């Protein structure tokens, strides 16, 4: 069986370091591994509109931002198909048929959708499109017969929903769709990177992000304002690591070689953590180190982005060509789906002869 990747992001803002460790970095590694037959990376504008219906301009503006962030991180249009969801009409058609395979109560049980509804104060007025987005996500994944979906932990319920739809579809209509596997980050800190406020997950919609395109001074300011251990008041006090955002970020980003470069008194993160929990290590020193780490990680990304920013037309052209390629693949899957569902009336010669025979009797 072919190895195919599909994943994507909502164009609701620029991409941030949570996306980077949760999904983007992995995608680039998988792309460059050469182990995959096809890689599809989708800018999910139609999904973004499900909770931004009255702000289409926000979605429109952010398409190029997400595309630039992709290219800046090393996604390569020669190796990966970068495309825009709304340009693939087959995805809507697939969603429409999948809707018959899912119950309202099943959608209501989705924990990610539940918390997103709360976050957006949608309790009494959820747009139907938003409520059903896990179904449309199943269409996105299955349209490309994806076998692997590299995403953050918040996407687990969506993958479960997709698998259920695939099983149900195949059992009712015959083997047609491919069941995908989720690929979560190996590093626990990357599963759901918290925001700089330390409260919820870093999310474009919450304004608690460090963006990939952020300038050095902004990164520094954000790091210095980050949430640590509120009881760690004096340097000599023992500090807590749990819930300490600065250490969570170090877990996500730090490599041993950064110690040699920026903080040679320690050899590795475990040594730094041991000193912090014992007492005698101040937050400012740890934050300064995290700042150096983030600056080192983000500088090449920001510089590459600036290069692509000089040729915006080229970036739109990549998306156009990618969307054309993606549409051809989705059209083939839609044909398979309609054939399996036997809603291919005009291609089905047997149907016409059956009906002719029935009326001739």
The answer to whether residues 213 and 17 touch, using CB atoms and an 8 Å cutoff, is no
The answer to whether residues 20 and 213 touch, using CB atoms and an 8 Å cutoff, is no
The Cβ-side half-sphere exposure at 306, using a 13 Å CA radius, reads 8
Provide the minimum distance between the beta carbon of 81 and ligand ATP in the complex, in angstroms, as a whole number. Answer: 17
Sign of CA dihedral 54, 57, 62, 64: positive
Separation of alpha carbons 189 and 191, rounded Å: 6
**214 lies in the site for ligand ATP, by CB under 6 A:** no
Stretch that binds ligand ATP, among 18-26, 257-265, 297-305, 312-320 (CB under 6 A): 18-26
Residue of the chain from 4, 5, 6, 10 that contacts ligand ATP (CB under 6 A):
10
Nearer to ligand ATP among residue 20 and residue 169 (C-beta): 20
**23 lies in the site for ligand ATP, by CB under 6 A:** yes
Nearer to ligand ATP among residue 144 and residue 266 (C-beta): 144
Provide the minimum distance between the beta carbon of 20 and ligand ATP in the complex, in angstroms, as a whole number. Answer: 9
Separation of alpha carbons 154 and 34, rounded Å: 27
Provide the minimum distance between the beta carbon of 274 and ligand ATP in the complex, in angstroms, as a whole number. Answer: 26
**205 lies in the site for ligand ATP, by CB under 6 A:** yes
Provide the minimum distance between the beta carbon of 164 and ligand ATP in the complex, in angstroms, as a whole number. Answer: 19
* Total of residues contacting ligand ATP (CB under 6 A): 18
Provide the minimum distance between the beta carbon of 159 and ligand ATP in the complex, in angstroms, as a whole number. Answer: 10
Nearer to ligand ATP among residue 203 and residue 291 (C-beta): 203
Residue of the chain from 4, 5, 6, 12 that contacts ligand ATP (CB under 6 A):
12
Interacting residues with ligand ATP between 132 and 151 (CB under 6 A): 151
Q: Which three-class secondary structure state does DSSP give residue 284?
A: helix
Stretch that binds ligand ATP, among 53-61, 76-84, 198-206, 311-319 (CB under 6 A): 198-206
The Cβ-side half-sphere exposure at 130, using a 13 Å CA radius, reads 21
Nearer to ligand ATP among residue 155 and residue 228 (C-beta): 155
Separation of alpha carbons 86 and 45, rounded Å: 6
**19 lies in the site for ligand ATP, by CB under 6 A:** yes
Q: Alpha carbon of 53 to those of 9, 50, 73, 119, 128: distances in Å?
A: 17, 6, 29, 17, 11
Q: Of 3, 22, 146, which is closest to residue 73 (Cα–Cα)? A: 22
Nearer to ligand ATP among residue 23 and residue 228 (C-beta): 23
Q: Alpha carbon of 147 to those of 4, 36, 157, 218, 243: distances in Å?
A: 5, 10, 16, 39, 34
Provide the minimum distance between the beta carbon of 352 and ligand ATP in the complex, in angstroms, as a whole number. Answer: 46
Q: Which residue sits closest to ligand ATP, CB atoms considered?
A: 22
The answer to whether residues 170 and 360 touch, using CB atoms and an 8 Å cutoff, is no
Stretch that binds ligand ATP, among 203-211, 282-290, 295-303, 315-323 (CB under 6 A): 203-211
Nearer to ligand ATP among residue 149 and residue 330 (C-beta): 149
Interacting residues with ligand ATP between 289 and 348 (CB under 6 A): none
Residue of the chain from 18, 74, 134, 239 that contacts ligand ATP (CB under 6 A):
18
**203 lies in the site for ligand ATP, by CB under 6 A:** yes
Separation of alpha carbons 283 and 239, rounded Å: 9
Task: Give the number of other Cβ atoms within 10 Å of residue 49's Cβ.
Answer: 23
**192 lies in the site for ligand ATP, by CB under 6 A:** yes
Quote the tokens at residue 228.
């640590």
Separation of alpha carbons 35 and 32, rounded Å: 8
- Let me know how long the chain is: 361
Q: Which residues make up the interface to ligand ATP (CB under 6 A)?
A: 9-10, 12, 18-19, 22-23, 151-152, 154-155, 192-193, 201-205
């Amino acid at each position: 069986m072919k190895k195919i990747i599909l994943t994507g992001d909502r164009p609701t803002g620029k991409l941030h370091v949570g996306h980077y460790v949760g999904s983007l970095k992995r995608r680039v590694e998988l792309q460059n591994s050469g182990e995959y037959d096809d890689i599809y990376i989708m800018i999910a504008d139609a999904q973004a509109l499900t909770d931004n219906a009255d702000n289409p301009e926000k979605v429109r503006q952010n398409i190029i931002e997400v595309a630039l962030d992709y290219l800046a991180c090393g996604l390569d249009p020669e190796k990966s198909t970068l495309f825009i969801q709304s340009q693939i009409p087959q995805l809507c058609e697939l969603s429409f048929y999948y809707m018959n395979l899912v119950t309202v109560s099943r959608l209501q049980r989705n924990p990610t959708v539940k918390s997103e509804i709360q976050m957006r104060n949608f309790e009494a007025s959820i747009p139907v499109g938003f409520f059903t987005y896990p179904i449309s996500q199943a269409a996105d994944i299955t349209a490309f017969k994806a076998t692997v979906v590299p995403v953050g932990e918040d996407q687990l319920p969506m993958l479960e929903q997709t698998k259920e739809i695939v099983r149900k579809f195949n059992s009712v209509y015959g083997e047609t769709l491919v069941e995908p596997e989720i690929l979560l980050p190996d590093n626990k800190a990357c599963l759901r990177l918290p925001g700089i406020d330390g409260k919820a997950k870093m999310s474009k919609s919450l304004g608690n992000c460090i963006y990939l395109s952020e300038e050095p001074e902004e990164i520094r300011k954000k790091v210095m304002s980050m949430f640590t251990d509120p009881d760690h008041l004096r340097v000599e006090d023992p500090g807590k690591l749990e819930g300490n955002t600065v250490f969570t970020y170090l877990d996500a980003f730090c490599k041993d070689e950064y110690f040699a470069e920026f903080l040679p008194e320690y050899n590795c993160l475990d040594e730094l953590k041991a000193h912090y929990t014992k007492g005698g290590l101040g937050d400012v020193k740890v934050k300064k180190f995290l700042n150096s780490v983030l600056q080192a990680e983000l500088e090449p990304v920001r510089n590459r982005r600036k290069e692509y920013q000089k040729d915006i037309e080229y970036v739109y052209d990549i998306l156009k060509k990618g969307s054309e390629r993606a549409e051809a693949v989705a059209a083939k899957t839609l044909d398979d789906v309609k054939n399996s569902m036997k809603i291919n009336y005009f291609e089905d010669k047997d149907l016409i002869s059956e009906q002719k025979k029935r009326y001739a009797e």
